[in-house]
Structure 1
């Protein structure tokens, strides 16, 4: 993955974009050649775009510019799969992820690169130009990432990142179905820094990241990259079991002191609560084992390449 000839690999997942790709390439090229004076490669991943113009644009860019590689996936595998495909093909010492819609400023790449002594540098948008629904979703998602994935609480996550190749190499060794890049990232390292970057309004086309895809991304994090729900059930089972023991003790004392007018009531309630709590606790334990078995056995690919243009 690491090449002494290439300092930076820029990975761009693409879905249905076309005209923005030329401007994005030009601006990234200007940043590396004119400002940073660093070698780079630009990797576009066409994630099963429905726009018939997308692949011709990418294919043309890869044939015209030696720094550009374009990869076309067989179908839409989602942004996470597209990113993993880019990571597997990256050769630089540092990998930068940036969106294809020009809402991220390529001119802010030097700000990320200035902190490349850290494992991961994440762009924190000073002012987001998203809709209200997307901003709300982003805040909720960030909170859950801290709770479920171990993201440091002071870190704001975004798709605009710089990652050391060593970190990428480490989390690519983790074979899991429906992977989340953020989950893999925060599992491998906690050396993460934020840097303020700008955020622009989308100049071309409409966003392909619909509300449906937002919820799918969140569900993927919740069900496939954490055991939060199973742990919640286990904790609920333990709590109910503890409550049943406490209630049994109370009824036992009450029966000895003042008596209980309904025969069998105390034992029935206590046994019912105890068995229910024990069952929930057992389901949680079994679920933990199932998660580990599934993750270790069901090695579905995160992406499948249809064709590749340029090297």
Structure 2
């Protein structure tokens, strides 16, 4: 049985050889499994990364190095690696060794499920990143349909048919958990240790995290549009109540109506109706966009090692 290890790479070089060596040691002790490693270079103009991957692909017959044309982000790069993977199961892992290759057998032990995600009880991230991750986790439950008890991470095992189904979703702003839960609910956690970075500092800045968060909200949900519609409806309702109060005071208490309350009421009403209309129109637009959007998630410049053409020849 073949296991494909997919590793998106961004401005890393010192850890790549160690990842390959430690992965080889892990599978030396797993006689029932063969493996391949698919590196995806998401920093093509970072010369140290390119050189390291070129050397690995040339020296190790189990390594494929895919180079993208520019930085597309971790999610598209991971899906690119899945596209080039040939295994029966696909394991995605980070390039900084915070996910230890030695923990891959923990995922394989639960391989009867469609997907297995590593859960880290203690995460070695900055406080800001942990806070953003916690907020995003709340929205993951609301938007993606993730069970509240389930933890997400980029260290995961996915059955190949499920992973290939994810590639059929044509969106330039993919979010892998959303794709996964759209296909299956058979997802479980296994506990693993979150290690310290072996080299350098995290390239996953606050801006990158906000970008992923916005992709979750905008491209995988109509929550924001529905919120706009709800606010519009609420404002319009408040204007009706306010108009009723003004009219009641004028009729029953003989209090004269000044010009500004009626003007204010009209502004509230029409403003609310405009927002409500935008929400309704936006609801249609997001469904149209989701149906017709066909822009590629990434573009591949070169493939070194076990290339895609060879795989198709085998089929």
Counting matched residue pairs gives 306
1:29 pairs with 2:21:
no
Deviation at 1:155, TM superposition (A): 1.3
Give per-residue Cα distances to partners, 1:133-186, cap 9 Å, x unaligned: 222222122122222322221111111011122222222211122111122122
Deviation at 1:79, TM superposition (A): 0.8
The CA distance in 1 between the partners of 2:111 and 2:232, in whole Å, is: 45
Deviation at 1:253, TM superposition (A): 3.9
SS at match of 1:239: helix
Determine the structure 1 residue equivalent to 2:133. 138
Give per-residue Cα distances to partners, 1:69-114, cap 9 Å, x unaligned: 1101111111111011111112222111100111101111111111
Contact 2:103 2:192 in 1 (8 A): yes
The CA distance in 2 between the partners of 1:259 and 1:195, in whole Å, is: 71
Deviation at 1:35, TM superposition (A): 3.3
SS at match of 1:218: helix
Deviation at 1:268, TM superposition (A): 4.4
1:280 pairs with 2:260:
no
The CA distance in 1 between the partners of 2:252 and 2:293, in whole Å, is: 58
SS at match of 1:122: strand
1:290 pairs with 2:290:
no
Determine the structure 2 residue equivalent to 1:3. none
Contact 2:118 2:191 in 1 (8 A): yes
Q: TM-score, normalised by structure 2?
A: 0.90
1:45 pairs with 2:40:
yes
Deviation at 1:266, TM superposition (A): 6.3
Determine the structure 2 residue equivalent to 1:112. 107
Contact 2:250 2:257 in 1 (8 A): no
Contact 1:45 1:73 in 2 (8 A): yes
SS at match of 1:8: strand
1:299 pairs with 2:294:
yes
Residues 1:147 and 1:53: Cα distance change in structure 2 (over 3 Å): same
Q: Name structure 1 gaps, 5 residues minimum.
A: 1-5
Instruction: Name which of 58, 66, 69 aligns with 2:61.
Output: 66
The CA distance in 2 between the partners of 1:214 and 1:228, in whole Å, is: 19
Contact 1:176 1:296 in 2 (8 A): no
1:88 pairs with 2:83:
yes
Give per-residue Cα distances to partners, 1:97-132, cap 9 Å, x unaligned: 100111101111111111122222111112212222
Residues 1:88 and 1:265: Cα distance change in structure 2 (over 3 Å): same
The CA distance in 2 between the partners of 1:187 and 1:247, in whole Å, is: 44
Is the deviation greater in 62-71 or in 153-162?
62-71
**Runs of 4+ with deviation above 6 angstroms:** none
Residues 1:251 and 1:262: Cα distance change in structure 2 (over 3 Å): closer
SS at match of 1:128: coil
The CA distance in 2 between the partners of 1:212 and 1:222, in whole Å, is: 15
Determine the structure 1 residue equivalent to 2:179. 184
Residues 1:265 and 1:48: Cα distance change in structure 2 (over 3 Å): closer
The CA distance in 1 between the partners of 2:242 and 2:62, in whole Å, is: 70
Determine the structure 1 residue equivalent to 2:311. none
1:202 pairs with 2:197:
yes
1:247 pairs with 2:242:
yes
